């Protein structure tokens, strides 16, 4: 028959069996781990035996008391084992105390096993009331003293790990002391105290489990998969929700009259729809993860899973996602951020906006290598919390963050990606889906992942540089073939010249000469088309852009659509080689013409903007998407013209402009056209005039 005693001790048995099973799954072979397993196991057997006895009252009395003593002996041994790791475990006093307590326990166990002999001798009543009560009181006192010594002799900074263990065992022995002291005083065990004991022990089990998870000395590093906890929590919550909704649906059906079944179906369908919507909510999932990690785990992250996810994301290219985007994603997912943007260091030292992920477009800017933010990252290697920077700027002494970074919608963290203690890139993350307070664990993991991601980026850049070098090597080999072809052509033409004097009156010879010359011209034209723009020049002078631009545009007058000069600003001078500048502008105009239908337009303009002379070439041609502009437009040997192009025109043009201190900016949209802005650093008019005078005088 089930009563309050069987329920109480049954709860204690289930709790201790669960703790024993958990310990067995994570035990790592240390002796104190075995002692703890024995203590919890015998506690579970003890509680199960008392639960059975409370229901059926058929177990021998000596078996019940033997289980009681076996449980106490195991816990006393465990406490002595833990105490041996503290400062108190020295000298003969510790050894004598241990021997005395264990001798008391073993002697009391012997009395309980030999209880039938005591009954036969007529001394059972005296032993039952007096000896047993005194013995258990002494054991309880010994347990309390051991717990106190363990806590007292543990270093203050380590007490957090054993705090709950001491509380749990102190509660267990303190309750035994109270119960047996009362029995010694009144010579009878109080039934209520005896029955409540099982449930009280069950309440102490969670304290033991928490302390075991914290304390490495106990050797039970409890591991429960975060995925299991998260999905289990979701399933339990969904089950409770469905049960509640089913109950409400039943109520509607029962009291809804003729409309009841209809309303029940509508309500149940709506409930399922709400459950599906909530289940797919990224914000809700993020909040649940934060709650579970904060309240149920010693560490916020499962580092094994984080590392596997990091390596899998960065090393896998099967999805076709660019590495830059994968780097942003793998960092953002650590703190549940929905997106971010990456700035990468280029060969010139400028940090250029490379890509963004999960956030809308914003006004992108480059950052010079001598900017305050870059210098701060190089020296401190800190992660910048923009909210904290706004609240407490003194924490980031003398740091100036560009307004355009702080102006990115919902910008939250600025994370440096260090490679060999040098800043290779930095990432701006937006605010997470669920509020997240940064601590040392977040920051250390972000820094570590940042360094790993930087190594992947550096390796990627090295691979691309090697590929480009191989392409240039192939280009040089191709040049050798070109020279060989030119030498062949020169040989053929030289032979024609030598024979012309003797055979100039021979019609057949003249026909052959014409064919040879035509073939040579065609061959050289073909070579020149492929090598166009590759001839070096070194004539540096002051160039009047207002005079140069009309000449370049007029040189393209035979093309369709015909380029038109829409605006020109006088007095803009730049320093460089005139032919190179003309080649660059001509190449951009030619590309615009090639990309535009004959009935379209190509407009060219010159204007001054701050300290720049800007040539704008605008067309309404086929245009380019953002990915092409960022990843392919200026990549050498990447051509969209098939075999007719070598893919070095745009690259060479930009490099020529950058060598003069300028740059080429592109804005384009597929199907709507493109605008190229070629900007050159201005030379002051007075300096340009003085340069011209010196050139004339020279």
In this predicted structure, the answer to whether residue 219 has a pLDDT above a threshold of 50 is no
Phi, psi of 274 (to 5 degrees): -60, -40
Residue 621 in tokens: 């041609």
In this predicted structure, the answer to whether residue 604 has a pLDDT above a threshold of 90 is yes
Residue 190 in tokens: 């109080």
User: Model confidence over 156-185: pLDDT tens digits?
Assistant: 767 777 888 889 999 999 999 888 888 877
In this predicted structure, the answer to whether residue 573 has a pLDDT above a threshold of 90 is yes
Q: Which residues pair with 615 in a beta bridge?
A: 606, 678
Phi, psi of 614 (to 5 degrees): -115, 125
pLDDT at residue number 227: 53
- Among 246-255, 405-414, 574-583, the least confident range: 246-255
Band of residue 643 on the pLDDT scale cut at 50, 70, 90: very low
Sign of CA dihedral 324, 329, 334, 337: positive
Note whether 52 and 12 are within 8 A (CB). no
**How far is Cα 593 from Cα 583, in angstroms, rounded to an integer?**
15
Closest CA to 359 of 297, 290, 416, 428: 428
Closest CA to 64 of 204, 203, 198: 198
Give the chain's mean pLDDT.
76
What is the number of H-type helices and E-type strands within the chain?
Answer: 24, 12
DSSP per residue, 364-431: ---B-TTSHHHHHHHHH-PPEEHHHHHH-GGGSTT----HHHHTSTTEEEEEEEEETTEEEEEEEEEP
The predicted model gives 339-345 an average pLDDT of 92
Q: Which residue has the higher pLDDT, 461 or 126?
A: 461
CA dihedral 368, 369, 371, 376 (to 10 degrees): 150
As a three-state string, the secondary structure of 328-381 is HHHHHHHHCCCCEEEEEECCCCCEEEEEEECCCCCCCCCECCCCHHHHHHHHHC
- Among 35-49, 194-208, 510-524, the least confident range: 510-524
Q: Which residue has the higher pLDDT, 227 or 552?
A: 552
User: Model confidence over 506-525: pLDDT tens digits?
Assistant: 887 787 777 778 767 776 77
Question: Is cis: bond before 561, omega within 30 of 0?
Answer: yes
40 CB-near residues (< 8 Å, 6+ apart)? 16, 19, 20, 23, 208
Give me the percent of the chain exceeding a pLDDT of 70.
69
Provide the CA 26 distance to its chain's centre, in angstroms.
28
pLDDT at residue number 246: 64
Residue appearing with tokens 């990224």: 282
Alpha helices for 84-158 (secondary structure H): 91-113, 115-121, 124-126, 132-152
In this predicted structure, the answer to whether residue 696 has a pLDDT above a threshold of 50 is no
pLDDT at residue number 594: 85
Q: Which residues pair with 667 in a beta bridge?
A: 675
In this predicted structure, the answer to whether residue 527 has a pLDDT above a threshold of 90 is no
- 191-214 and 4-26 helices, crossing angle to 10°: 20
- Three-state DSSP at 443 gives helix
The predicted model gives 530-557 an average pLDDT of 74
In this predicted structure, the answer to whether residue 2 has a pLDDT above a threshold of 80 is no
As a CATH number, domain 4-218 is: 1.20.1070
**How far is Cα 125 from Cα 135, in angstroms, rounded to an integer?**
15
Q: DSSP character for 303?
A: H
CA dihedral 408, 414, 415, 421 (to 10 degrees): 120
**How far is Cα 451 from Cα 284, in angstroms, rounded to an integer?**
30
**How far is Cα 569 from Cα 549, in angstroms, rounded to an integer?**
11
User: Model confidence over 361-389: pLDDT tens digits?
Assistant: 888 888 888 888 888 888 888 888 888 88
Note whether 278 and 284 are within 8 A (CB). yes
Residue 187 in tokens: 């010579």
**How far is Cα 52 from Cα 381, in angstroms, rounded to an integer?**
64
pLDDT at residue number 243: 61
Residue 524 in tokens: 């050289």
Any idea where the domains of the chain sit in the sequence? 4-218, 226-280, 540-697
Residue 646 in tokens: 């070598």
**How far is Cα 145 from Cα 651, in angstroms, rounded to an integer?**
81
pLDDT at residue number 394: 80
In this predicted structure, the answer to whether residue 534 has a pLDDT above a threshold of 50 is no
As a three-state string, the secondary structure of 556-604 is CCCCCCCCEEEECCCCCEEEEEHHHHHHHHHHHHHHHHHCCCCCCCEEE
Best mean pLDDT range from 9-13, 407-411, 524-528: 9-13
CATH architecture type of domain 540-697: 2-Layer Sandwich (3.30)
């Amino acid at each position: 028959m089930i009563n309050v005693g069987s329920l109480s001790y049954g709860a204690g048995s289930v709790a201790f069996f669960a703790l024993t099973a958990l310990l067995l799954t994570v035990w790592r072979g240390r002796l104190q781990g075995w002692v703890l397993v024995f203590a919890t196991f015998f506690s579970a057997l003890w509680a199960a035996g008392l639960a059975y006895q409370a229901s059926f009252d058929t177990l021998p009395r000596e078996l019940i008391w033997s289980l009681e003593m076996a449980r106490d002996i195991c816990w006393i041994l465990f406490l002595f084992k833990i105490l041996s790791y503290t400062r108190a475990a020295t000298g003969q006093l510790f050894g004598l105390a241990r021997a005395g307590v264990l001798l008391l326990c073993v002697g009391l166990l012997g009395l309980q096993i030999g209880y039938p002999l005591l009954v036969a001798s007529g001394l059972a009543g005296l032993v039952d009331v007096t000896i047993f009560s005194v013995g258990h009181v002494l054991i309880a006192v010994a347990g309390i003293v051991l717990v106190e010594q363990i806590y007292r002799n543990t270093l203050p900074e380590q007490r957090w790990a054993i705090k709950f263990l001491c509380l749990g065992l102190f509660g267990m022995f303190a309750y035994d002391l109270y119960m047996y002291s009362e029995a010694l005083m009144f010579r009878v065990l109080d039934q209520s105290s005896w029955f409540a004991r099982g449930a009280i022990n069950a309440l102490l089990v969670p304290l033991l489990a928490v302390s075991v998870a914290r304390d490495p000395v106990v050797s039970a590093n409890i591991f429960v998969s975060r995925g299991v906890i998260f999905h289990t929590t979701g399933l339990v919550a969904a089950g409770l929700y469905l049960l509640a909704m089913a109950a409400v649906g039943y109520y509607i059906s029962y009291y809804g009259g003729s409309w009841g079944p209809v309303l029940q179906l509508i309500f149940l369908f709506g409930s399922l729809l709400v459950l599906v919507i909530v289940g797919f909510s990224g914000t809700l999932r993020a909040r649940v993860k934060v709650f579970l990690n904060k309240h149920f785990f010693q560490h916020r992250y499962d580092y094994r899973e984080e590392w596997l996810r990091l390596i899998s994301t960065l090393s896998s290219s099967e999805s076709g996602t660019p590495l830059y985007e994968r780097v942003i994603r793998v960092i953002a997912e650590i703190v549940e951020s929905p997106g971010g943007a990456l700035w990468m260091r280029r060969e010139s030292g400028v940090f250029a906006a490379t890509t963004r992920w999960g956030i809308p477009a914003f006004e992108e800017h480059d950052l010079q290598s001598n900017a305050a933010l870059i210098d701060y990252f190089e020296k401190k290697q800190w992660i910048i919390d923009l909210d904290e920077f706004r609240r407490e700027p003194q924490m980031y002494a003398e740091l100036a963050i560009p307004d355009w970074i702080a102006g990115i919608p919902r910008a939250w963290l600025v994370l440096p990606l260090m490679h060999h203690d040098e800043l290779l890139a930095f990432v701006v993350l937006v605010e997470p889906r669920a509020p997240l307070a940064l601590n040392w664990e977040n920051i250390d993991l972000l820094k570590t992942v940042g360094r790993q991601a930087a190594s992947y980026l550096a390796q990627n850049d090295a691979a691309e540089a090697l590929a480009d070098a191989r392409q240039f090597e192939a280009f040089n080999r191709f040049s050798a073939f070109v020279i060989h072809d030119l030498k062949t052509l020169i040989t053929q033409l030289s032979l024609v010249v030598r024979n012309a004097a003797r055979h100039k009156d021979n019609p057949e010879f003249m026909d052959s000469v014409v064919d040879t010359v035509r073939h040579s011209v065609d061959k050289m034209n073909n070579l020149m088309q492929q090598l166009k723009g590759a001839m070096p020049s070194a004539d540096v002078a002051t160039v009047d852009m207002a005079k140069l631009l009309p000449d370049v545009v007029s040189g393209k007058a035979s093309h369709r659509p015909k380029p038109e000069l829409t605006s020109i600003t006088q007095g803009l001078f730049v320093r460089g080689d005139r032919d190179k500048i003309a080649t660059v502008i001509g190449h951009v105009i030619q590309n615009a013409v090639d990309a535009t239908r004959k009935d379209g337009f190509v407009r060219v303009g010159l204007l001054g903007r701050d300290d720049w002379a800007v040539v704008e070439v605008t067309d309404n041609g086929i245009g380019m998407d953002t990915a092409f502009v960022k990843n392919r437009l200026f990549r050498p040997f990447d051509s969209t013209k098939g075999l007719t192009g070598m893919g070095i025109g745009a690259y060479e043009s930009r490099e020529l402009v950058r060598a003069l201190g300028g740059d080429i900016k592109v804005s384009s949209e597929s199907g709507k056209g493109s605008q190229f802005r070629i900007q050159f650093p201005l030379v002051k008019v007075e300096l340009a005039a003085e340069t011209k005078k010196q050139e004339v005088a020279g």
